[in-house]
Structure 1
Amino acid sequence: MDPTNHLNEGQFQKFSRLIYDQLGIHIQSVKKEMLKTKLDKLMRQQGIASYDEYYQRLTRDGKPEDWVRFSDEITINKTDFFRENHHFEFIQKQLQNIMDLNPRIQKEGMIRVWSAGCSTGEEPYTLAMVLRETLPAAIQVKILATDLSHRVLVAAQRGVYNAADVAVINPYYLQRYFSRQRDAWKVTQEIKDLITFRQFNLMDHFPFQNKFDMIFCRNVMIYFDPQTQQDLVNRFYDVLIPGGLFFIGHSESLTNKRHHFQYLQPTIYRKNTKAGGRYIS
């Protein structure tokens, strides 16, 4: 590929529309150079000479792995263990209210959680540790962890992290739920067994047969345009059980969104239920 290739406005718009239609991510004009850098990298790796040739491969002539490589590069993956820890503290402090306001958990002996946009696994593994420590032993924990990127899901399923990754973890959790492997730490099978990792595009139909007690979708919707955000909020509401909890990122808000969630505190919402009840601060 010629490193002097210029991504013209028409080509930028074609790729932006493709990304929006397929991934729901809105690439603004100010991010044109960022997109060009990513496209240049992908084209060099695959020996593709022009942006038009690459677009045709993605939309007409390519193989499924071409699209996987493209989406892995375009999507943004930033996460940490116990990121925005007040969410996990809320679960620990409000456990009795969560159980009382959602009797299905005790009735069925199971809690269902969705980590939407799980990246390399730090969020669902944090959830698994907190829920296992907080819930009665008789309650089964089932966490669905999804992401669009195949690359990050491979890393998440391995569950191996370096010392810098686990530095924020409380020593008790580290000793209880990780095993040391030379310069790395591996999540124990006990915690892995609580999580099912799946590749999933949030733009696709939600195929779930069972509704969730909690949904974590944090710092994901900021990459979508307002209408896509609105649609996602409504769809998340639909797949929560009455009384279910919805957690979003610190850079996100449901202000100016039409929704039926009950506000509990910043970035934490509850699906309304006829049973009423409230959480105590």
Structure 2
Amino acid sequence: MERARTGCYQWGSLKELPSDWLTKAFTQSDEFYCIRPEFRERIEFKQQDIRATMPSESFHLILSRNLVLTYFDADLQQKVLSPMLKRLIPGGVFVVGSHEFLPENLRHLQAIRLGVYHKER
């Protein structure tokens, strides 16, 4: 959580971002790319166990890399993904790990690139 709060990442963590996103959202200092303050100040960090409770808010972006689709069994994936994706606004983006694949019943999300999905409006 603390690493995410600082908003600074090495190139290896961001290399799969589209170059225009990198330019618009990050500044480069030495070996780090740091999220621009105007973006970082709008981010709220929470630590929750999504198996037990979901945030009540709606989201433009949900990052679920290397968690639900990697470590949860199929039943728990269904239990968690459905309410999670209901909180993703139409037009929002859902990101999973590049080695993870969505269950068939979640194909209403449109693939933008490997591991990045757009919720239909």
Equivalent residue in structure 2 for 1:220, among 62, 67, 74: 67
* Mapped partners of 1:233, 1:91: distance in 2: 29
Q: Does the alignment pair 1:83 with 2:13?
A: yes
Equivalent residue in structure 2 for 1:198, among 46, 58, 76: 46
* Mapped partners of 2:20, 2:105: distance in 1: 26
Equivalent residue in structure 2 for 1:230, among 78, 96, 105: 78
Q: How does 1:106-125 map to 2 (within 5 A)?
A: none
* Partner residue, 2:117: 269
Are the aligned partners of 1:84 and 1:250 in contact in 2 as well (CA < 8 Å)? no
* Mapped partners of 1:83, 1:228: distance in 2: 28
* Mapped partners of 2:92, 2:24: distance in 1: 17
Which entry has the higher C-alpha Rg, 1 or 2? 1
Give 3-state SS (helix, strand or coil) of 2:118's partner: strand
* Mapped partners of 1:85, 1:229: distance in 2: 28
* Mapped partners of 2:20, 2:48: distance in 1: 26
Offset of 1:258 from its aligned partner?
A: 1.2
Are the aligned partners of 2:90 and 2:120 in contact in 1 as well (CA < 8 Å)? yes
Give the letter aligned to residue 24 of structure 2. Answer: T
* Partner residue, 1:174: 29
Give 3-state SS (helix, strand or coil) of 1:199's partner: coil
Give the letter aligned to residue 83 of structure 1. Answer: S
Q: Which blocks of at least 5 consecutive residues in structure 2 are unaligned?
A: 1-8
Offset of 1:90 from its aligned partner?
A: 6.8
* Mapped partners of 2:78, 2:14: distance in 1: 23
Offset of 1:205 from its aligned partner?
A: 2.4
Give the letter aligned to residue 88 of structure 2. Answer: L
* Mapped partners of 2:52, 2:20: distance in 1: 29
Give 3-state SS (helix, strand or coil) of 1:198's partner: coil
Offset of 1:206 from its aligned partner?
A: 1.6
Give 3-state SS (helix, strand or coil) of 2:83's partner: helix
* Higher percent of residues as helix: 1
Are the aligned partners of 1:263 and 1:269 in contact in 2 as well (CA < 8 Å)? yes
Offset of 1:244 from its aligned partner?
A: 0.7
Are the aligned partners of 2:54 and 2:84 in contact in 1 as well (CA < 8 Å)? no
Identity of paired residues, percent? 24
| TM-score between the two structures when normalised by the length of structure 2 | 0.68
CA-based RMSD of the aligned residues comes to: 3.3
Offset of 1:263 from its aligned partner?
A: 2.4
Listed one character per residue, the Cα deviations across residues 47-88 of structure 1 (whole Å, up to 9, x for unaligned) are xxxxxxxxxxxxxxxxxxxxxxxxxxxxxxxxx7452632x2
Q: Which blocks of at least 5 consecutive residues in structure 1 are unaligned?
A: 1-79, 93-129, 136-169, 179-186, 274-281
Give the letter aligned to residue 65 of structure 2. Answer: R
* Partner residue, 2:3: none
Give the letter aligned to residue 215 of structure 1. Answer: I
* Partner residue, 1:243: 91
Q: Does the alignment pair 1:257 with 2:104?
A: yes
Are the aligned partners of 1:263 and 1:270 in contact in 2 as well (CA < 8 Å)? yes
Offset of 1:270 from its aligned partner?
A: 1.1
| TM-score between the two structures when normalised by the length of structure 1 | 0.33
Are the aligned partners of 1:230 and 1:257 in contact in 2 as well (CA < 8 Å)? no
